[in-house]
Amino acid sequence: MNHSEKKFWSGNIAVAEGALAAGVDFYAGYPITPSSEIMEHMARELPKRGGIFLQAEDEIAAIFMLIGASWADAKPMTATSGPGFSLMQEGLGIAVMTETPLLVVDVMRAGPGTGQASKAAQGDLLQARFGRHGDQILPVFAPFSVQDCFDLTVFAVNVAEKLRTPVVLLSDELLAHTWEEVAVPREVERVERRRPRNMEPPFGSEDPRIPPPMPRLGEGFGVLMTGSTHDPWGFRRTSDPGTHRDLVTRLWEKIWRNRDWLCRYQAFGLEKAGVGIVAYGSAARSALATRTLLSGKIDVGVVVLQTVWPLPEEPILKLAERARFILVPELSLGQLIFDVERIVAGRCQVLGFGKIGGGVPIYPEELAEKIAEEWR
């Protein structure tokens, strides 16, 4: 990227600007703390740039507006937080089944229920991955800095278009309301979805890694679109086991078999790691500062996960081969740790560091203290 201009943005503004840079031209949503600044920014900026902004009556309407807009050739997005994200799960499931590109940003706050509206948490990780019913998978990304809020949103929008899939960007209240300098590139890559040529089927693909082309509704191409099991031409096949198996397997493999480039992470000091930290989101910032705090005393390797589903397993394995133990800090009672334990599979000890309530960040000093205590 050709970074050309510095801006002082919050995480929420950086997400909105990243989406605009990537070509998002449709936003529908319902305001909810701590995501509302994204909606406010899009309400101001989208119409100026030729896009469409709609305040929906609720989050259910918003997600279905995104589906409609996407099929009408828009690059759509919405932003919400826990309670709204729960309401959007049905629509996200339909978007998976109909292979509809769209971006949902979930700025995590403390739940369950309405919880603590303005306080940070990381309790939606498992919901972002598995919140829909049925066998399904969609990519989930999680920025760890305001710069990453911009960069990763651009990537997420492009993934949605490239793989013809809904994607989720998991931010959290701490990131949303943290302001930092962002290097804004003059231009960013914009992926455009593939259009059908010569009557290609809109729901079938010989290579499961490559999504079928997506027709633009209303342009002379009759499309059957349904959330029920369908064949490559969109005809409902709700009793045929083979069609269901082929479709659901292909939708899964479309994401799973692209893991090599979908799985983004940053790794620090893995080669000499005596101790490892695996983290994402705002907790990853504290993890990086912990590494510096302990420098010269304990070699800490850090894996910052930017893709949190599917998971980058290779750097975690590398860490597990060298570290005496791996610490997993998260603003929840423990969600990411399940995966780290599965991946590490006994190669070293995995310790959780969960913290909840009141939006209090995980501080580097407390991570350093925990590591020093376990190191003895």
Partner 1 sequence: MPELRLRLSGIGGQGIVFAGRLLAQALLEAGKHVTLRYAYGAEVMGTPVHSELVISSEPILCPYFEKADVAVVLHPRACAEAISGLSPTGLLVLDSGVNAQGKIPLKVRVEVRPFVALSSRDRPGDPGRLAPVAALGFLAKLGLFPLDPLLRAASTGRAAEENLEALKLGFSL
Sites of contact with partner 1 (CB under 8 A): 8, 33, 116-119, 174, 177-181, 282, 285-286, 288-289, 292, 359, 361-366
d(CA 272, CA 323): 8
CB distance 71 to 217 below 8 Å? yes
CA-wise closest residue to 139 among 120, 121, 157: 157
Residue showing tokens 């899939």: 165
Report how far Cα 286 is from the mean position of its chain's Cα atoms. Answer: 20
Q: Which tokens in the block code for residue 49?
A: 């740039």
How far, in Å, are 23, 159, 221 from residue 190 at the CA level?
7, 10, 25
For residue 338, count CB atoms less than 10 angstroms from its CB and return exposed for 0-12, middle for 13-18, buried for 19 or more. middle
Report, in Å, the least distance between residue 275 CB and partner 1. Answer: 18
Taking the least distance from each CB to partner 1, the nearer of 177 and 216 is 177
- Minimum CB separation of residue 304 from partner 1 in Å reads 12
Q: CB of residue 366 vs partner 1: minimum separation in angstroms?
A: 8
How far apart are CB 83 and partner 1 at their closest, in Å? 13
Q: Which is nearer to partner 1, 103 or 184 (CB)?
A: 184
For 187, other C-beta atoms within 10 Å of its C-beta total 9
Least distance between partner 1 and beta carbon 269 (Å): 14
Q: How far is the CB of 293 from partner 1 (least distance, A)?
A: 9
- Give CA–CA dist 177/256, Å, rounded: 33
Nearer to partner 1, 181 or 219 (CB): 181
Residue 113's contacts (CB-CB under 8 Å, 6 or more residues apart) are: 83
Helix (H, G, I), strand (E, B) or coil at 107: strand
Residue carrying the six token digits 């992470």: 265
Minimum CB–partner distance for residue 103 and partner 1 (Å): 25
For partner 1, give the closer residue by CB, 116 or 349: 116
**In this structure, what token pair is assigned to residue 171?**
């931010």
Residue 265 Cβ vs partner 1, minimum distance, rounded to whole Å: 18
CB of 282 to partner 1, least distance (A): 7
| 64 vs 363, beta carbon nearer partner 1 | 363
Query: Which 3 state secondary structure label does DSSP give 217?
Result: coil
Reading the block at residue 230, the tokens are: 């369908």
* Residue nearer to partner 1 on the CB measure, 92 or 367: 367
The H or E element spanning position 89 is helix 89-98
6 or 49: CB nearest partner 1: 6
Residue with smaller CB distance to partner 1, 88 or 279: 279
Q: How far apart are the first and last CA of the chain?
A: 44
Q: What is the DSSP string of 226-284?
A: -SS-B-TT--B-TT-HHHHHHHHHHHHHHHHTTHHHH--EEEES-TT-SEEEEEETHHH
Tell me whether residue 177 or residue 237 sits nearer to partner 1 (CB atom).
Answer: 177
Residue 92 CB, shortest distance to partner 1, in Å, is 26
Residues 6+ positions from 87 with CB-CB distance below 8 Å = 58, 59, 60, 63
340 DSSP 8-state letter: H
Nearer to partner 1, 83 or 234 (CB): 83
